[in-house]
Structure 1
């Protein structure tokens, strides 16, 4: 196995670990939000928070699928590599910063 392949495998393993951590954290937060129900105007806010958390979980699942099919870390907008620093901060990032700005 080449040194490049070994580094690539290591980066993919680290990415999967970050994604699993992000998924576990969001699931814990979502469980806590679901258990919180005040019966007041706060319910709307809690509902919005739950919906946002579910969207992030979907993005994490999509990132896991990209890791499995070999496209993880590639911008869906311009097909360039997403910088490792961005993926460390936001492991489920779909776009490089420039493309993210254009889609926002």
Structure 2
């Protein structure tokens, strides 16, 4: 999948899923803009900080794509560690999270 295309092809009849998709798309768009800005800045050989920033953004983009998959298969909002619901407040702040706070601390 191309990183610069929005993930809007699958829609559900569930309004909450549409809201989640909007939050995920916003997070994705933001990260893509950050990645583009870093690319436009240029990178000097041996610039490990910028390389690490790019890697971190790419990891988050992968997590966002995985969150879209969880929305599609109905498992979004369920902690992958303990199988309990991730609090809505956490999902609002970090819509691509896979874990509740307790399980995130253990991983």
TM-score normalised to structure 1 length: 0.85
- In structure 1, distance between residues paired with 2:99 and 2:44: 39
Q: Equivalences for 1:34-49 in 2 at 5 Å?
A: 34-39=39-44, 43-49=47-53
**Highest CA radius of gyration, 1 or 2?**
1
Query: What does the per-residue CA deviation read over 1:43-84, in whole Å, with 9 as the maximum and x for residues that have no partner?
Result: 221111000000000000000110011100000011111111
1:68 to 57, 64, 72: 72
The DSSP-based 3-state class of the residue aligned with 2:21 is helix
Question: How many positions carry a matched residue from both structures?
Answer: 95
Corresponding residue for 1:19? Answer: 24
How far does residue 40 in structure 1 lie from its aligned partner after superposition? 6.1
Distance 2:51 2:94 in 1: 24
* Residue ranges of structure 1 left out of the alignment (5+ in a row): 1-7
Q: TM-score, normalised by structure 2?
A: 0.83
- Structure 2 portions without partners, runs of 5+: 1-12
Q: CA RMSD in A?
A: 1.5
More helix by share: 1
- Is the counterpart of residue 52 in structure 1 residue 56 in structure 2? yes
Partner of 1:78: 82
Query: Does structure 1 residue 99 correspond to structure 2 residue 100?
Result: no
